[in-house]
Structure 1
Amino acid sequence: MRALLIDLLVAFGATGILVLDGLHRVHTPPFWVPAVAVAFVVLLLRRRYPLITAFIGYGLAWFVPTVLLLPTVLLYTVASRRGPKWPTAVAVAGCLALLATFAGSGGTPNWRALGVSAVSFLVIPVLAGLWMYQRAALLEALRGRADQAERERDLLAERAVAAERRRIAREMHDVVAHRVSIVALQAGALSVRAPDEETGQLAEVIRESSAAALNELRDILQVLRDDAPDPSSRPGPALSGVARLTGDLAAAGARIVTDLPEPLPRVTDQVGRAAYRIVQESLTNAAKHAPGATIHVRLGLEDGRLVTEVANPLGASAGLPVSGYGLIGMRERVTLAGGALNHGPDGAGRYVVRASFPAEGGTP
């Protein structure tokens, strides 16, 4: 669009000069009006067909010398579009022949006039056109180098990320998986040799939880190593797993009061997965900060939104390590699912984690 506007301005400007020149002449050359019209069309098409339009302009200047400005513009266009190649040499030769014809038309050649005309109508436009061609080529080369540098930077970043993911996968496998495997083996041995039934049940719950953790850890390691398909293509935790989650923790000896609707609200997979993880992390935090206290878990619909709430009394810590990343991870999950998260003391001696998510439209 910008090039078309420039071509229109050049065409109107050049033909306007020709029109004014013709109006100031007492006798205009034959075919002057058609020549000006053809010159206008030639100037509009000069970028697409530079060499052809140049020779058409030479022909017009041959028959109508008042349009001598036209070959200069067309010669510049050929040089700027084709560069130091044969089309430019052909256009220069044609323009030089035209100038020589005009210089010798009066009998004895006027070499001084020919030299001035050659510099004005041939050398200057050719040099200007070649400079523009080289400038455009340089800009294109610099643009290509910038694009290549950006692609190389992205490739190096991807390689660095892949290397870091593999390193994390190795560390998780060597440290976390090893520790959890030991817990599972010891819990299995304890469930077999338990002195009483209650101890055996608790040990079995620990073994099953450890085995489930190993399975989830294996999936995470596969994702980190890029050996597994897209995580969203595999079944993951859902809203229906909250009941089992609280049941396993209750079987391990925790005191949990649940308020789960029946049937469960209908939500998207992303929302269900986020709600499950919020409850899971909240239960973990409650076990850390209020061991032995009663934990209240509630799910429900409020104003068309799914609400999850986990509350526990403020109490002494269990002495487990605390990093603070749990709350950060919960907020990220809730935000990605389009929800809102609030946590903190409620003024009644309880710590409450409350999250709300968009629901699909009630219960099925």
Structure 2
Amino acid sequence: MQALHAQVEHLRIERELREQAARGAERSAIAAEMHDVLAHRLSLIALHTGVLATRRDTLPAPVVERLTLLRTASTDALTDLRDVLAHHRRAARDRPARSGPARCRGDDRGGTGGRQVIDTAVEGRPEQAPAAHRLAVLRLAQEALTNARKHAPDAPVRVRVDYGPPATLIEVTNPPATGARAVPSGFGLVGLRERVEALGGHLTAGPGGAGARRLAARIPHPVAEQNGPRT
């Protein structure tokens, strides 16, 4: 009995470590994605202010001063953003070494041949939603389609996306298929839940009725986005 209890405790701790690793990996992915988005926008600011500054002879002195300030602020912000991301990546690399065997991936992408039929419906325009929402939709669809392909490779999949406002919605369902396989669950959903909840949303995954599998998420738009047009 003591040996059994010790084994159960070991498995519980191992699962917690793997869940922590999955959440950490998703946070690292979010940081890298938002770095790319913000770096692109800051680069545009630096580029256009730099172009305008070349015409300083035809511009009023206060305008030239503000253009210089904008260019300096945007380039400094780019440097700070890279430094933060580099620190985050170093922390992510160091974390598994301190916490034990926490290297973790989502469901394996290999070993799933065949053709996957996907019925897709999209409402609203992607640009209506924040960039973080669009990235979350991509990750949720990837994970749900991968799981559907593994659990029931011959079953059609329905993907519904609504970019709102007032919220970004995504739902992926697939009915049971003949010969559906029982595949051990990975930790991909742990990371996805971390991402959705970080945006103030809610994720559900599991049976959807009549044996179907369902993954759905609702991510509310920021209040500022609901009260006015995006810029």
TM-score range (shorter-chain normalised) is 0.3 to 0.5
Whichever of the two has the greater Rg, that structure is: 1
Higher relative contact order (CA 8 A, sep 6+): 2
Greater strand content: 2
Greater helix content: 1
| TM-score, normalised via structure 2 length | 0.45
| TM-score, normalised via structure 1 length | 0.30
